Structure 1
Amino acid sequence: MSYLTNVSQKLLDIESSQFSKFVEVSENLSRIIQGGGIVHTFGCGHFSLLAQDVFYRAGGLVPVHPIWIEELMLHRGARQASENERKSGLVQPYLEKEDLQKKDAVLIISTSGRNPAPIETAIYCKERGLYTVGLTSLDYKESQHSRHHSNYRIEDIVDEVIDMEVPVGDTIMQKGDQSYSPVSSVVGAGILHELMTRTIERIAESGEKPPCFQKW
């Protein structure tokens, strides 16, 4: 099968298995937005790109804010970003400068759920009363132990988990003994836009006009 065929099936599987989570999380996000809150997004490396993908998008929600930490982004050096994601204590000084309020939500994207940067972001936001949602792959839980000194993984901290169902190693194609072609970016983007879409529709169903960007 082609990459597109495999990815399409993966997205359909997630739509079915995570349906109740999509409903619950989008209902909470719509309530938060209607209460004047903001949906923050956070990711490291390639997932910093996903955190930006739902920000300032035509047809997307206005009250969305990515948490940018350049030391965790690819343009500052891919290897360095990967190493920084594993450093305890790196994110807190940056998070302290963000306007993170109790009425807000945060979506934290981390396939493995094991590195200190996303874990400490989840801890920081949870302690401040934000509604925290982790997008992670629970397939990593058995074989990929936490790199954080607490031994917590992201799913141990957040209020809600959406399972990205990404296989360990991130690849979806196989020839002989070689696996290749990452799937987490497509899956992560699909999940984020599913949540945003359902949140918009939920707000509309309540009788309010969803705060969406309209560009012509």
Structure 2
Amino acid sequence: MPTPSAAEFAAAAHAAIDRVSKEQAEGVVGAAELIVAALAADGIVQAFGTGHSEALAMEIAGRAGGLVPSNRIALRDVVLYGGRPLEALAGPELERGTDSAALLYELAAPHPADVFVLASNSGVNGCVVELARLAKENGHPLIAITSAEHTARVEPKHPSGLRLRDLADVALDNGAPYGDAVLPMSGGGRACGISSITAALLAQQIVAEVIARIEAAGGVPPVYLSANIPGGDEHNRVLEARYAGRIRRTA
């Protein structure tokens, strides 16, 4: 059996992108429609993911070409803003348990019209499921991005027995296999995770559909320019001022 190669991973990534784009097209439209409705009602997008799924939140919130009315929730917020000790970030307990979700929700201080986009490849860790539960309990639309194959094969860590996708208004499958890695190794096991690539794809497809709908209705989408081009900072500051106190842009 050959060992993994760059070419093999490129082929696997292309195949995953093609499959996810085709199979999740309807869900992407549904997610975009939820976001457009939230923005029209003066809501913003609250994005959250733990571990490598935080990359999804970074695709949604605060990047060039993305929507300005977006906020990235992160596990470290409980330390940066919530008064928890730095030691709280050590180990996997914060992600797997449920006790930080209420504080994260409180710190985000969501507007009633805000929409939540939550990502978790496994879709079973306690924190993300509890945050999803709180979002739904408080009337927020919820978009979930997870691996359908992986989440079906692992036990939920939330005491309710629920998975992230069980709570979502729109659940998108990132197409990652069980365990995430896609390339077999000669000595056994697999390497090279795919979920970050397909989750980023879904995030940007959603943004594209949101922008298309705002423009079709005659609006001007509130989209970031790169801060590294002339006029970018000025453009972005004007748009961010509309959402002062509602969006955080930490390093």
Question: TM over 0.5: same fold?
Answer: yes
Give the corresponding residue for 1:103.
113
Give the corresponding residue for 1:8.
14
Alignment gaps of 5+ in structure 1: none
Distance in structure 1 (CA, Å) of the matches to 2:40 and 2:174: 27
Distance in structure 1 (CA, Å) of the matches to 2:93 and 2:135: 22
Q: Secondary structure at the match of 2:224?
A: coil
- Deviation, 1:36, is 1.4
Which of 39, 45, 49 matches 1:33?
39
* 2:94 counterpart of 1:84: yes
Greater mean alpha carbon deviation, residues 193-202 or residues 82-91: 82-91
Distance in structure 2 (CA, Å) of the matches to 1:60 and 1:160: 20
Greater mean alpha carbon deviation, residues 34-43 or residues 96-105: 96-105
Amino-acid identity (%): 25
| Structure whose alpha-carbon radius of gyration is higher | 2
Give the corresponding residue for 1:207.
218
Give the corresponding residue for 2:158.
148
Greater mean alpha carbon deviation, residues 20-29 or residues 82-91: 82-91
Distance in structure 2 (CA, Å) of the matches to 1:140 and 1:60: 29
Number of residue pairs the alignment of both structures matches = 213
C-alpha deviations, 1:54-104, integer Å up to 9, x for none?
32222211101111221799xx79x93533211121221231122212211
- 1:20 aligned partner, one-letter code: E
- Deviation, 1:145, is 1.2
- Two-structure CA RMSD over aligned residues (Å): 2.0
- 1:137 aligned partner, one-letter code: S
C-alpha deviations, 1:154-179, integer Å up to 9, x for none?
11112110011211111011133231
- 2:65 aligned partner, one-letter code: G
Give the corresponding residue for 2:143.
133
* 2:189 counterpart of 1:183: no
- Deviation, 1:8, is 1.4
Which of 204, 216, 235 matches 1:193?
204
- Deviation, 1:32, is 1.4
Alignment gaps of 5+ in structure 2: 1-6, 80-85, 230-251
Distance in structure 1 (CA, Å) of the matches to 2:159 and 2:95: 14
Is contact 1:72–1:81 with CA below 8 Å preserved after alignment?
Answer: no
Distance in structure 1 (CA, Å) of the matches to 2:202 and 2:120: 13
C-alpha deviations, 1:14-35, integer Å up to 9, x for none?
0100111111111221121122
Give the corresponding residue for 1:115.
125
